[in-house]
Structure 1
Amino acid sequence: MLVFLDTAERQLDIPRHSTVEGEVCGVVKDIEYKNDKVYLYLKNVNFISDELKDFKEIKSSSFLCRKLGAVCSFDADYDKISDCGVNIGSTVKIRGKINVYNKASNPGEFDMRRFYISKGYLFSAYSCELLSGDSHKNIIADTSYRISARIGGLIDRSLNPKDAGMMKAILLADKTDLDKETKDLYKDAGAGHLLAISGLHISMFAAITLFFLKKTPLSFKASYIITVFILFLYGYLIGFSASALRATVMFAILCIGKMFNKSYDSLNSMAVALLVTIMIKPLYVLQNGFLMSYLAIISIAVVLPIFAVIGKKAKGVISTLSISTSVTMTTLPVVVNSYYKIPLYAPLINIVLVPGMTVLLMLGISCICLRAIIESSIFINICKLLFAGSLISPDLYIFLLSGKFNIFAIGIHLFLEIYEWLMKTELTLPKAVITTGARGIARCLIYEFILLLSAFIIRKIKLSLWRKDKLINNRIRQSPAYNPTKEIRSIRKKRVLLFAGSTAVLVLNIAAFLIYWRKDKIEFLDVGQGLCVCIQYKGNVYCYDGGSTDRKNIDEYVLSPYFAYYGIDSVDAWFISHEDADHTSGIKGLLNGNITIKEIIVPKVLKDNFSSITALAEDTGTKVIYSSTGDVFTSNDGITFTVLSPDEDFPPDDSNACSLVVLMRTKEEKVLFMGDADTRAEEKVLSFMRGPIDILQVAHHGSANNTNSEYFLCTLKPRISIISCGFDNQYGHPHKETLEALEKTGTYIYLTDKEASAFFWFVH
């Protein structure tokens, strides 16, 4: 599997491409309506237009790329799709703006390319127009799609929008209508698994189905066969996620074993499920949900027994807590590397939430069935016949049963409200969510190895003690005069030592894994047409600018994930060159978020231009410092920031010229941040210093308009020059003249639009 992952990563390491308009054809695999758009998911994709030759080469470059499809989006009012009678299985011809999904270009950023590839898609098309489409239909897939849509409609008409979004996520794996606030709440509380169709849902659904079938005259074999058949139908209906496929295969093996009176081994069943998954859906191995699902089974099979070292099998609440804790411990590396934080009280909250899911699923199924019956023409005609001439209108009776007075809908609402209240209460507890940062693959593997090895050794010792205990009991039965007091004390002492030792090993393993050492470095983030620099030095964090004009909400999608990735929850000082959006848009969002910014330093000459940021800073308790040429900011960590420009007499109407130019110094390095400064600022810089310097942030995204003069660059002689600009930006940055001037200095030129974010270690 590791070989497959490595091969997949190398085959899919595709550079950025320009968006090209052209024609593409393919077979419709799925249809989706979300975010006011219509999405067609295509397989067997062929690029028709000559303009798309680069994408043809990508598709033919490897076996994996040849298997990947495209996602095409249409405006919501685009009714030609339905006019053409397009179904799942139809072959369509589409014209749109084509590109490949971008991979994550910053630490912590969501990897869009990896996400869609794991689902079987590499190419995206937007602003699409349907040119042609046949009426061919994949009967099984199209029927499944329409049944799912029908059930979703029944849920929508039975529940309020928020509850409906929740139940569609829980029952149909459809998160389209699930609001972000609810998803974040469940994720932060450690209950995010309840919103995905996981093994938990499949096992509960199977248990419910089997319970009712056993109440019928059917034989137990027939009940098992029908249950497995229903599970596979349900799995197909919801798209067989990695965890759903694993749980269905394992349950099928369990049923086969029971029918033939054979014992069941969870690890062997898991191995079979893993083989089936890799054969049917090999790209699932790229999903974190895949790892979570299989690690959860390993935890129950291998780690859970160590919680019974006292000698008795746990029952009731203790059993549930043991399962929850073992799963949490085993999946910890995946959780940390997925969310960069851990919900401390997740094992406790799941004691309440998980058992309630069985009732919630039954209420959901009952609500759907009731609504389907009420909407049937037979039921409506019966109502009209029974209530004809009575005071109660048949339509009113139907409304009472199907609307707000539907007892199942009321039950669902109450359950979800209680769940939400419990999770919000949990998050008010001290250290409810701990930001951990990500961990390397090596540390994750070491952690899992120690955990599983400890579990294996503890299990062996426990089995040995159990055998001794059994031997003593047999000797007592054979010889009533035998006095085993000394042996019993010895066994009890060993059990106590085993309990204490195993607890210490587990706690130390977790502590060693969670301890985080942040390495000193400077990182130029890829924010598109904008600039953001983050410096991590001896435990302190400093930033320079943080905005973009072509990437929206970078505070949410770039900066916050970046800080979470490194376990950063506060910034000591944030220097802002000037107020333009491509330098400040993300900072404004962060001031309203969970990151604490202690100080913001802005140019004094542009004081009046920072009113919006100043107001936000005052609301959050952030100190604002107005700076000008000659100001020096020092820290006890040995790093200094010297402001080289602008002077207070610079013209405030030219914000680029008034950019805050900062020289950062450590014992070994000199780094110069120029913002969007022009030649006047260059003169100020050269009046303070000469080269060489280690790193230069090239001014104004590499522009050659009244900045980045050849004399200035050759005088500074930077070893490394960083140009932060957007891919295919409208300004043509970086300009050819700037690149030529930089080349004359012999510097290494790094472009964020071509090579993503750049980081450099500090030398001590």
Structure 2
Amino acid sequence: MRNRILCTACLLLAVLLAAAVWLGGSRFVKELETTALMQQAVSGDTVLVTGQVYAREIKSDYQVLYLKHNSIKFRKQQLKESKFIVYDKSIQEVKTGNQITAEGNVRFYEEPRNPGNFNEKQYYEKQGIHACMWSESVIVTSGRVWKVRDGIFSFRQKWKAVLYDFMGEGQGALLCGIMLGDKADIDPAVKELYQMNGIGHILAISGLHLSIIGIGMYRLCRRLCGSYAAGGMCGILFLFAYILMTGISVSAVRAAVMFLFRIGADMAGRRYDTATALAAAACIVLLWRPLYLYDGGFWLSFGAVFGVAAVLPLFRKLPAQGLWASVSINLSILPVLLYYFYEYPLYSILLNLFVIPLMPALLLLGLAGSVAALVLPWPGEAALSLCRALLTFYEWLCRTAVELPAARIITGRPSAASVVCYYILLSALLLMWGRYKIRRNAGTRKKCIAKYMIITGITYAVALFILIPGTCGREGQLEVTMLDVGQGDGIYMKAPSGRTYLFDGGSSDVRQAGKYRIEPFLKYKGTGRIDYAFISHGDSDHMNAIREMIDRGPLGIPIGHLVLPREEVWDDSLTELAALARDNGIKVFIMEEGQHIQDGGLSLYCLHPGGAYRGEPGNAASMAVWVRYGRFDMLLTGDVEGEGEAALTAAVDEAKEAWRTDGFDGILEVLKVAHHGSKNSTSAEFLEATRPAYGLISAGRDNRYGHPHRDTAKRLEDIGCRLFCTPSDGAVTVWTDGSRMSISAFAEGAGP
């Protein structure tokens, strides 16, 4: 670094900025400050917003308007808010630069309710946005237009229409995502397929896109003009216009800064230094958006360039440079992938060997085809047909890879200490490899290649050992988490043996709770499979998420066995679920009263419904499971109530009496309160029989049923039961070694 003064200065500044963000919080980062609107209003309050449109997006049935310099009228007060989002259902004709007024119910972005779930608040906070609203009508109060930016937006919409016309909606949307950064209409299954296989980066405007388009245009202009300066200016203007059109992302800003350094070096007759450009880009991004320090995209973008700049040169004399480039990038970003996404696509290195070399062809054909389509349709259609073929090939690669064994390794989130240890190991290996040089004779070359492959393999093995948490839970401990799925139920259990259980899974107010609430949590915990999924009864808020997980196939978390109550209490929903499970190769078990599952020291007893129950299917027929581990006892009740609760009360009395000779201490540590705390469940007679120390209630926030009901909560409190409820506590986790127990709520910052 002695001869890299600018690089050293930028690195020091980047470290200082990172420390200021990490330690300073809201004292340094204005995006973390509590705004006046956040202090005065709550989600659901009606507000009148007046602000200037600085960006907009067109969706199929609404538009998104990004506002700045906002004045918000709330209860006769005028409050200032730097940025705000309005979702306009009327799709009013609005241009960038217009000032608009809109009325609606404000909604503040929220933190995740479960470990591993998407942090909506942090995502928008990074952009300085804290609130949004849906509006039925938007009024333009000032006709001022930012002509350049609005012209670029209009051009983008016309370009998008050309791609849709010639490629169809499905692949047209995919090419729009790749070329224009517009991912709104991409089939979610295809998008997830790309991400799962490690090629999702091609859907984000990144350094790969900008290097192909920006450097390509720069070289073309330089040859046409015969001047580095003229070519450089043309390349810079074109690149900036392209970034404005596609969106100003972290990777785009990083690539643009490095592009400027490269062109500047050419124009000044100096040597381009990647390290200096990368360090300067990091400083600029952190000055522009300090909170991107916590963004996975930031670390992936800079980590990939670091891999190419620092790791790849060690392999530069080896054949198959594309393979070693992919290896180098993966070595650099592996901890980032696991820390932010909790899984590793095993075949991504191989897939990128095909995907990345074809990207220049895809982008150039897309550009040429789009231009030609406006003049002569048949050449444009021919070029875009080739794009269709390439995209079909990409999808075929992904679908083939996802069917291979261990297509993805779900690791869970590694600890920060593990990540630090990994990078210390990587640095040591870089220093060690740097001491070796490949000799020119063929025999030695083969030995060196073999040596490099062995060292690389060992590095991956050691890295995964360091980063991947153990497959079992805490040694000798049972872990139970009541997930916040909204108005529904979902309870995850991990046995000391490592076997996993899911008791119910569904929601009536959270869309795709399986995909967005349950599966991210499972990945965070390193759970790549649910061994047993229990369904208490056929209500959708207890089973639609599990049905969704089955439907998602290889994209979701697989389920080994489906456990249902006895067939006499099945309704149509349970019958259909059982058929769906069997069609997907999932074994369906029936668990009746008196049967139990033994998993080492863990026992799961079915107490209800028994043969004596003659009631109707539904809530009263919910399967109730008593969990025993050492001296720890927990009762899972589904939605049992009425006649079913009376039968369960009798079964509990009988079981307690039978277990007294088996070390039962007479205490029920945890009760999953039935039917979300409904008034019609958890009667005084049932509580007298169970007398739980802790009660867990799963319900949606501000749900229309009033769950948990105050009468039920009072009955529980009157017997000394301490309540944990997902509306206030988020996910609630219980740990026990069979003699001692701890319990914590995620929303209190004490998540697992």
Fold-level match, TM-score > 0.5?
A: yes
Where do residues 489-638 of structure 1 align in structure 2 (5 Å cutoff)? Answer: 504-514=458-468, 516-519=470-473, 520-537=478-495, 538-594=497-553, 595-609=558-572, 610-629=574-593, 631-638=594-601
Distance 1:496 1:646 in 2: 63
Alpha-carbon spacing, 1:125–1:498, altered in 2? closer, same or farther (3 Å) = closer
1:341 equivalent to 2:358? Answer no
Moved more, 729-738 or 429-438: 429-438
Alpha-carbon spacing, 1:265–1:236, altered in 2? closer, same or farther (3 Å) = same
Query: 1:142 corresponds to which residue?
Result: 150
Question: Which residue of 247, 250, 266 maps to 1:258?
Answer: 266
Distance 2:221 2:448 in 1: 47
Distance 2:70 2:97 in 1: 13
For the Cα contact (< 8 Å) 2:538–2:570, is it kept in 1?
no
Distance 2:227 2:322 in 1: 32
Superimposed CA distance per residue, residues 411-468 of structure 1 (whole angstroms, 9 cap, x where no aligned partner): 2222223333333333344433333333233222322232133213432x23xx69xx
Alpha-carbon spacing, 1:495–1:337, altered in 2? closer, same or farther (3 Å) = closer
Q: Displacement of 1:203 after TM fit?
A: 0.8
Question: Which residue of 193, 201, 212 maps to 1:204?
Answer: 212
1:688 equivalent to 2:659? Answer no
Query: 1:4 corresponds to which residue?
Result: 21
Q: Displacement of 1:733 after TM fit?
A: 0.9
Alpha-carbon spacing, 1:700–1:253, altered in 2? closer, same or farther (3 Å) = same
| SS of structure 2 residue aligned to 1:532 | strand
* Partner AA of 1:333 in structure 2: P
Q: Displacement of 1:253 after TM fit?
A: 0.8
| SS of structure 1 residue aligned to 2:619 | coil
Q: Displacement of 1:11 after TM fit?
A: 4.4
Alpha-carbon spacing, 1:52–1:187, altered in 2? closer, same or farther (3 Å) = farther
| SS of structure 2 residue aligned to 1:48 | strand
* Partner AA of 2:321 in structure 1: S
1:276 equivalent to 2:284? Answer yes
Question: Which residue of 577, 590, 603 maps to 1:640?
Answer: 603
Distance 1:722 1:413 in 2: 52
Distance 2:628 2:601 in 1: 9
Moved more, 171-180 or 735-744: 735-744
Q: Displacement of 1:753 after TM fit?
A: 1.0
Question: Which residue of 702, 722, 732 maps to 1:758?
Answer: 732
Alpha-carbon spacing, 1:314–1:248, altered in 2? closer, same or farther (3 Å) = farther
Alpha-carbon spacing, 1:116–1:500, altered in 2? closer, same or farther (3 Å) = same
* Partner AA of 2:528 in structure 1: D
For the Cα contact (< 8 Å) 1:722–1:750, is it kept in 2?
yes
Moved more, 292-301 or 569-578: 569-578
Distance 2:183 2:74 in 1: 35
| SS of structure 1 residue aligned to 2:620 | coil
Query: 1:366 corresponds to which residue?
Result: 368
Q: Displacement of 1:496 after TM fit?
A: 8.3
Question: Which residue of 69, 73, 81 maps to 1:44?
Answer: 69
Q: Displacement of 1:401 after TM fit?
A: 5.0
* Partner AA of 2:330 in structure 1: T
TM-score (norm 2): 0.85
Alpha-carbon spacing, 1:314–1:255, altered in 2? closer, same or farther (3 Å) = farther
Q: Displacement of 1:694 after TM fit?
A: 1.6
Where do residues 109-508 of structure 1 align in structure 2 (5 Å cutoff)? Answer: 109-308=117-316, 313-314=317-318, 318-372=320-374, 374=375, 400=378, 406-459=381-434, 461-462=435-436, 504-508=458-462
1:72 equivalent to 2:72? Answer no
Q: Displacement of 1:659 after TM fit?
A: 1.9
Q: CA RMSD in A?
A: 3.2
* Partner AA of 2:366 in structure 1: G
| SS of structure 2 residue aligned to 1:177 | coil
* Partner AA of 2:21 in structure 1: F
Structure number with larger C-alpha Rg: 1
Query: 1:663 corresponds to which residue?
Result: 626
Alpha-carbon spacing, 1:157–1:657, altered in 2? closer, same or farther (3 Å) = closer
Alpha-carbon spacing, 1:132–1:683, altered in 2? closer, same or farther (3 Å) = farther
Distance 1:691 1:757 in 2: 27
Distance 2:403 2:637 in 1: 43
Question: Which residue of 702, 705, 714 maps to 1:740?
Answer: 714
Query: 1:99 corresponds to which residue?
Result: 107
Distance 1:132 1:262 in 2: 51
| SS of structure 2 residue aligned to 1:750 | strand
For the Cα contact (< 8 Å) 1:686–1:712, is it kept in 2?
no
Q: Displacement of 1:266 after TM fit?
A: 1.3
Alpha-carbon spacing, 1:605–1:425, altered in 2? closer, same or farther (3 Å) = closer
Distance 2:448 2:564 in 1: 62
| SS of structure 2 residue aligned to 1:184 | helix
Distance 1:253 1:191 in 2: 28
* Partner AA of 1:575 in structure 2: F
Query: 2:677 corresponds to which residue?
Result: 702
Distance 1:683 1:3 in 2: 61
Alpha-carbon spacing, 1:410–1:506, altered in 2? closer, same or farther (3 Å) = closer
Superimposed CA distance per residue, residues 61-118 of structure 1 (whole angstroms, 9 cap, x where no aligned partner): xxxxx54x3322232xx25x22xxx322222221112211232212332333333333
* Partner AA of 2:580 in structure 1: L
For the Cα contact (< 8 Å) 1:105–1:757, is it kept in 2?
yes
Superimposed CA distance per residue, residues 603-626 of structure 1 (whole angstroms, 9 cap, x where no aligned partner): 454134522222223323434344
Alpha-carbon spacing, 1:333–1:413, altered in 2? closer, same or farther (3 Å) = same
Q: Displacement of 1:498 after TM fit?
A: 8.0
Distance 2:488 2:613 in 1: 23
Equivalenced residue count is 691
Q: Displacement of 1:270 after TM fit?
A: 0.8
Alpha-carbon spacing, 1:654–1:354, altered in 2? closer, same or farther (3 Å) = closer
For the Cα contact (< 8 Å) 1:599–1:624, is it kept in 2?
yes
Distance 1:237 1:268 in 2: 28
For the Cα contact (< 8 Å) 2:318–2:449, is it kept in 1?
no
Distance 2:550 2:398 in 1: 25
For the Cα contact (< 8 Å) 1:107–1:565, is it kept in 2?
yes
Query: 1:393 corresponds to which residue?
Result: none
Superimposed CA distance per residue, residues 146-178 of structure 1 (whole angstroms, 9 cap, x where no aligned partner): 222232233333432233212211221111222
Distance 1:735 1:353 in 2: 55
Q: Displacement of 1:581 after TM fit?
A: 1.4
TM-score (norm 1): 0.83
Moved more, 447-456 or 527-536: 447-456
* Partner AA of 2:470 in structure 1: Y
Distance 1:401 1:305 in 2: 41
Distance 2:77 2:168 in 1: 45
* Partner AA of 1:748 in structure 2: R
| SS of structure 2 residue aligned to 1:598 | strand
Superimposed CA distance per residue, residues 388-426 of structure 1 (whole angstroms, 9 cap, x where no aligned partner): xxxxxxxxxx55455xxx322222222223333333333
| SS of structure 2 residue aligned to 1:504 | helix
Distance 1:759 1:511 in 2: 26
Query: 1:482 corresponds to which residue?
Result: none
Q: Displacement of 1:673 after TM fit?
A: 1.0
Query: 2:14 corresponds to which residue?
Result: none
Alpha-carbon spacing, 1:653–1:2, altered in 2? closer, same or farther (3 Å) = farther
For the Cα contact (< 8 Å) 1:697–1:723, is it kept in 2?
yes
Unaligned stretches of 5+ in structure 2? 1-17, 657-664, 739-752
* Partner AA of 2:134 in structure 1: Y
Superimposed CA distance per residue, residues 174-203 of structure 1 (whole angstroms, 9 cap, x where no aligned partner): 112221232123223321111111111111
Superimposed CA distance per residue, residues 487-533 of structure 1 (whole angstroms, 9 cap, x where no aligned partner): xx999999987885565345322343246334241000101111111
Question: Which residue of 19, 27, 51 maps to 2:44?
Answer: 19
